[in-house]
Amino acid sequence: MKLQEMTWEDFETADKRVGLIPTGSTEQHGPHGPFATDLIIAEEMATHAAKETGALILPSISVGISREHEDFKGSLYISPDTFRAQLKEIILSASSSGVDRFVVVNGHGGNISAIYEVCKSLYIEYTTIALEWTWFNAISARNMGHAGELETSLLMFLRPELVKEPRDPGADTWGHRLHGTRMDYLTSSFTENGIVGDPTKATAKKGEELFDRATEKLTGLIRELYDSDQDFLSREPDRS
């Protein structure tokens, strides 16, 4: 169920054990992919997992930490401070309404560290349990790229009408490294068309497989949260 489609009376009796917050971005995904790619993937995965488990879907954060794409016009971004504040306050207000535990269902790499920081501080300051979950890390995806084979395959499975042709290959890697450090603050410095990876290899079938693998992980995590009545992030070390 989506909180935004409920009334306050519906909410009183709703299952509030786990709330899902989809987070994505509004950023260029090459000449073939829509700005909302990361958000679409996160929302579709959250919707599927909510149907399987009964988890509550909270409002999405649809503009993320994406300033690295600013040279590709139309890409929008908010600062890490704004993102962290928005996520933290959404979770705290939902928590004060009785939502017990949270999973942030994320589709954008640039959001990961901010989500983790918020979840960590919520636990330490308020003992609120919120977890960062990013689909491509959950399945240990290799060669993630950007608007490449993986994301384009997911789009072709989920929203094929939004994938444009032709699909051209992009840069081979996300930026470059120098003496062990990353040298890549702006995507325009290492990809001309905005893509990293090869979207010509994308198929709807591959997208379906990725979707199934990722949502299996997400539903497993939600069920784990339902099952564990104790605080499994407890400060007490497990001495058993």
Residues near Zn ion (CB under 5 A) are: 37-38, 151
Residues with Cβ within 8 Å of residue 13, at least 6 apart in sequence: none
Question: Smaller CB distance to Zn ion: residue 38 or 132?
Answer: 38
Return the residue nearest Zn ion (CB atom): 38
Question: Smaller CB distance to Zn ion: residue 37 or 106?
Answer: 37
Compute the least distance from the CB of residue 151 to Zn ion, in Å.
5
- Amino acid of residue 150: L
CA 24 to chain centroid, in Å, comes to 5
Compute the least distance from the CB of residue 95 to Zn ion, in Å.
29
Compute the least distance from the CB of residue 86 to Zn ion, in Å.
20
Question: How many residues in the chain?
Answer: 240
Rounded to whole angstroms, the Cα distance separating 22 from 9 reads: 24
Question: Smaller CB distance to Zn ion: residue 134 or 219?
Answer: 134
Rounded to whole angstroms, the Cα distance separating 59 from 56 reads: 10
Residue with tokens 């950007």: 146
Contact 77, 67 (CB under 8 A): yes
Q: What tokens appear for 21 in the block? A: 């917050």
Compute the least distance from the CB of residue 33 to Zn ion, in Å.
8
